[in-house]
């Protein structure tokens, strides 16, 4: 019965997008476990703050889920050297810019966002 106003849902969306980007580009990171641990600690602490009165934790969770799903769609894995492959002689097959799991995550995320 009350109105919730603030940017915290959007900030949680950015945290969700950061987590999906970390999972998508897992092989690029040099210190994988520490990056994941740090991000998870930030998310848990902020969700714990949402337990306080007059804080809308549903906006935080909704922002996180939507940011997580949109991260798989809008933050593809960078492919260094993919543009140079376009200058190859004819007859040589080009590799796809994206990995198979990126297609799967993108399609599943898009379907979930449309359903939601």
Residues 32-42: tens digit of each pLDDT? 899 999 999 99
Count the Cβ atoms, other than its own, within 10 Å of residue 50: 16
Active site residue 54: no
At 12 the pLDDT is: 93
- In 3D, which of 83, 16, 85, 26 has the Cα closest to residue 46? 16
The reply to whether 2 belongs to the active site is no
Higher pLDDT, 77 or 85: 77
pTM of structure: 0.74
What radius of gyration do the chain's Cα atoms show? Answer: 18
Q: Which of 20, 54, 60, 96 is catalytic?
A: 60
pLDDT at 83 exceeding the cut of 60: no
The domains of the chain are located at 7-115
Between CA 67 and CA 69, with CA 68 as vertex, the angle to 5 degrees is 90
Cα distances (angstroms) measured from residue 53 to each of 49, 56, 57: 9, 8, 10
């Amino acid at each position: 019965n009350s109105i919730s106003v603030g940017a915290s849902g959007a900030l949680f969306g950015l945290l969700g997008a950061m987590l999906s980007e970390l999972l998508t580009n897992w092989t690029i990171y040099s210190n994988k476990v520490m990056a994941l641990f740090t991000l998870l600690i930030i998310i848990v602490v902020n969700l714990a703050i949402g337990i306080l009165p007059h804080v809308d934790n549903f906006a935080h969770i909704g922002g996180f889920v939507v940011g997580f799903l949109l991260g798989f769609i809008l933050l593809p894995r960078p492919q260094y050297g993919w543009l140079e492959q376009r200058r190859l002689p004819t007859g040589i097959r080009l590799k796809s810019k994206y990995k198979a799991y990126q297609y799967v995550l993108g399609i599943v995320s898009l379907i979930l966002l449309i359903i939601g």
